[in-house]
Amino acid sequence: MKKYLSIIILGLSISSIQAQDASDAIRYAQDNLTGTARFRAMGGAFGALGGDFSSLNVNPAGSAIFNNNQASITLSSINTNNKSDYFGTKTKENDNTFDLNQIGIVWVFNDRTEKSNWKKFSIAVNYENANLFDNSIYSAGINPTNSVANYFISYANGIPSSVITNNNFENLNYTEQQAYLGYEGYIINPVAGSTNNSYVSNLSGTGNYYQENTISSTGYNGKVSFNVATSYKDRLYIGLNLNSHFTDFTKRTSFYEDYQDSPGHNESAGVQALRFSNDLNTYGTGFSFQVGAIAKVTEAFRFGLSYESPTWYRLNDELIQTLSVRTAEQGSFFADPDLRMIYPTYKLQTPGKYTGSLAYIFGKSGLISFDYTLKDYSNTSFRPQNDYTGLNNQMENIFDRTSEYRIGAEYRIKQWSLRGGYRFEQSPYKDGKTIGDLNSYSTGLGYNFGNTKIDLAYTLAKRDSQQSFFSQGLTDAANINATNNNVSLTLLFEL
């Protein structure tokens, strides 16, 4: 018998149907510009410059540009403002985070003899928080046509009702579990006499569904780079990075829907409101490598070229789902988030990228640099392939090849350095809307005390996106305008 109550279920699920979607892949496929304050202030355009710890993430040959042993540490303050527009209702949410996002050390070995043309050898270790996931988005509004019932129906259609009613939750795969929640929450019903196992909404209203959706995420995607580089006649610099990645991401989504403004809604019977919460924790490790070279064409002009391999991740997902339902007959019921699904380890391969760079050095007075990066997001894929054929084909169709441009400049006045930069990154989606283009402006300054340097940077980044509440069924999206303000401080010491 179906129950008018909140669903409280604890299950260990080893599911043959994946819970991942394209948004999970793009989270790890996209790069975020982080690192030292000098690097950020100049828009990350360091592929032909080197001599900065974060430049190793663009071109590993950059460590051979260092003249002596150095160490650096960077602290950042990040403010993110998200403005949402959902069917004309505007809301906003702010998030503030403080992060130790970079720490590195480099050892430089110079060959002073005239016998060898290999004049310098360097070893470096650098940690960066490649992507900070702390973020909050709140959207609310009245959806004229679609209810969360459509989410549950999209999973339930094709599943015999006997599968849902005669099995414990932990014995079902992910698709069947979503159907189970919709059915036991009295949101959907099987069509009587149906031969194709179809389902319909059990809600009495026919539109104007009031909806709220809150997304809160925390976590990081860290990277430790083990770098070696060398120089030939102080004209050609060659380097290699071996990168170890580790991630821990937590996202809580809380969706609320009620039917007080819905035409035809029955206030004396059935579901009056519900809250559907999903707590996702993804954690794991990965590996990638980079190779690169910098050529000093003249004393002033430099050219850089680098390649970054795909990152091969091994990831684990844990998902807690809670459905709380308020009915006219039983009133409100609260469910603790006590449903846990643990999925088998899966693999994710993000796309590699190529970067070409140019720089011109104006003696000791300053410089200007430019980076161009090419990256094909359609090469993103989950593994094993047989389990993710449909999703991988979908990503191949919706993701695009992108270009990224970065330009930076620096002007020196005695011990002071003044810096500025610009970064543009194309949308990874072919529609250009799910995640839009990114525009970022940066500025900063530095002071050289001799053996110690201090750098400060400010970065403003803007990007629009469309945030669907669910990946299927209820896919109406809120338009999100995100503004990120970052202040970074770096201390650099010569050893």
Q: Which run of H or of E encompasses 176?
A: helix 174-184
pLDDT on residue 386: 87
- Return the exposure string of 191-210: e unless at least 16 CB atoms fall within 10 Å of the residue's CB, then b: eeeeeebebebbbbbebbbb
Whether 238 is covered by a domain: the verdict is yes
Phi and psi for 493 in degrees, rounded to 5? -125, 135
Whether 196 is covered by a domain: the verdict is no
Whether 475 is covered by a domain: the verdict is yes
CATH number reported for the structural domain that contains residue 274 in this entry: 2.40.160.60
pLDDT on residue 375: 97
Full domain range(s) for residue 438? 22-147+207-494
Residue 149, helix vs strand vs coil? helix
Residue 332, helix vs strand vs coil? strand
Whether 154 is covered by a domain: the verdict is no
Whether 11 is covered by a domain: the verdict is no
pLDDT on residue 327: 86
∠ CA(102), CA(103), CA(104), 5° rounding? 125
pLDDT on residue 335: 43
For 212-225, give the DSSP string: EEEEEEEEEEEEEE
Whether 159 is covered by a domain: the verdict is no
Whether 187 is covered by a domain: the verdict is no
For 91-120, give the DSSP string: EEEEEEEEEEEEEEEEEEEE--SSS-SEEE
- Structural domain count, the chain: 1
Helix, strand, coil percent values for the chain (each to nearest 5): 15, 55, 30
Whether 178 is covered by a domain: the verdict is no
The low-confidence residues of the chain, meaning pLDDT below 70, are 1-18, 113-114, 331-339
Alpha-carbon torsion, ordered 140, 145, 147, 153, to 10 deg? -150
Beta-carbon-side half-sphere exposure of residue 294 (alpha carbons within 13 Å)? 36
pTM summary value: 0.92
Q: Which run of H or of E encompasses 180?
A: helix 174-184
Strand partners of residue 307? 291, 354
Pairing of the two strands 301-308 and 271-296: antiparallel
Residues written for the chain: 495
Which amino acid makes up residue 149?
A
pLDDT on residue 18: 59
Residue pair 197/164 in contact by the 8 Å Cβ criterion: no
Residue pair 6/408 in contact by the 8 Å Cβ criterion: no
Nearest-angstrom CA–CA distance, 431 and 399 = 9
